[in-house]
């Protein structure tokens, strides 16, 4: 689906509101300030996914979007391996950076991902009156490209371009850099755009 400038502005605004709520929850969990970027919307040909994500180790907590649209796509909490370890360390008051990821990190990531994605989707539901519920979370601690390509492969539609819609959340104090990425199916995107356009027209 090709987006006009107005549509892509509308989605950006939605991302802003969702990510702001997610950033607030992250900030509370870390007890520190969290900055967020302007949401970026990229339409990427699948053959070029490798230029955005490669072999780097990352944690991805993925949720399927459910609710009004049953298989609506995915929403993902993405964080590099180093940032993920710093995140667990900060939350639990640990200092050792040179350790392997363990079950404690996995639980922390699932929990943080759950809280942030729920905050994101609550905010967008309140704004649009369109309910997107997260499925139980699924975690991958692996090559970023491998995890993302697997999610794209299991989307309902056979697509050649993916719309990646991401907002960066950064905690300077603890050097934690993360992203919330939405990978909507066409039906979800069309519904979001429609509702945002109506809202902006004041309907």
Partner 1 sequence: MDLIRTMSEQSPPSGQTAMIGIGEYRVGSFPMMTIGLGSCIGLTFYDDHLKVGAMVHIMLPDSAGRKDRPGKYADTAIPLLIKELTAMGCKNRSLVAKMAGGASMFEYFGANLNIGERNAGKIRELLKENNIPLIKEEVGGKMGRSVTFLPGNGGKVTIRRADGTTGEL
Choose between 127 and 133: whose C-beta lies nearer to partner 1: 133
Q: Does residue number 93 form part of the binding site for partner 1 (CB under 8 A)?
A: no
* Beta-carbon count within 10 A of 46 CB: 13
Which range, of 3-11, 28-36, 116-124, 137-145, touches partner 1 by CB under 8 A?
137-145
One of 22, 23, 53, 75 touching partner 1 (CB under 8 A): 53
Q: Does residue number 132 form part of the binding site for partner 1 (CB under 8 A)?
A: no
Q: Does residue number 5 form part of the binding site for partner 1 (CB under 8 A)?
A: no
Burial of 39 per CB tally in 10 Å (0-12, 13-18, 19+):
buried
Burial state string for 124-152 with b = 16 or more CB within 10 A and e = fewer than 16: bbeebebebebeebbbbbeebbebbbebe
Angle between helices 5-30 and 103-128 (to 10 degrees): 130
One of 137, 164, 168, 183 touching partner 1 (CB under 8 A): 137
Q: Does residue number 91 form part of the binding site for partner 1 (CB under 8 A)?
A: no
Q: Does residue number 139 form part of the binding site for partner 1 (CB under 8 A)?
A: yes
Shortest Å, Cβ 200 to partner 1: 35
């Amino acid at each position: 689906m090709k987006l006009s400038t107005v549509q892509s502005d509308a989605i950006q605004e939605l991302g802003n509101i969702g990510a702001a709520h997610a950033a607030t929850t992250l900030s509370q969990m870390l007890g520190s300030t969290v900055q967020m970027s302007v949401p970026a919307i990229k339409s990427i040909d699948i053959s070029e996914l490798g230029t955005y994500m490669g072999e780097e180790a990352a944690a991805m907590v993925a949720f399927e979007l459910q609710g009004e649209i049953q298989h609506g796509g995915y929403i993902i909490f993405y964080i590099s391996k180093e940032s993920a370890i710093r995140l667990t360390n900060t939350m639990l008051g640990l200092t050792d950076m040179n350790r392997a990821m363990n079950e404690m990190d996995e639980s922390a990531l699932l929990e943080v991902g759950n809280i942030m994605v729920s905050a994101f989707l609550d905010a967008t539901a309140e704004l649009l009156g369109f309910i997107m519920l997260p499925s139980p979370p699924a975690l991958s601690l692996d090559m970023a490209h491998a995890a993302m390509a697997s999610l794209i492969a299991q989307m309902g539609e056979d697509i050649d371009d993916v719309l990646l819609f991401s907002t960066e959340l950064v905690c300077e104090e603890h050097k934690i850099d993360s992203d919330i990425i939405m990978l909507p199916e066409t039906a979800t995107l069309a519904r979001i755009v429609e509702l945002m356009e109506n809202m902006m027209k004041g309907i």
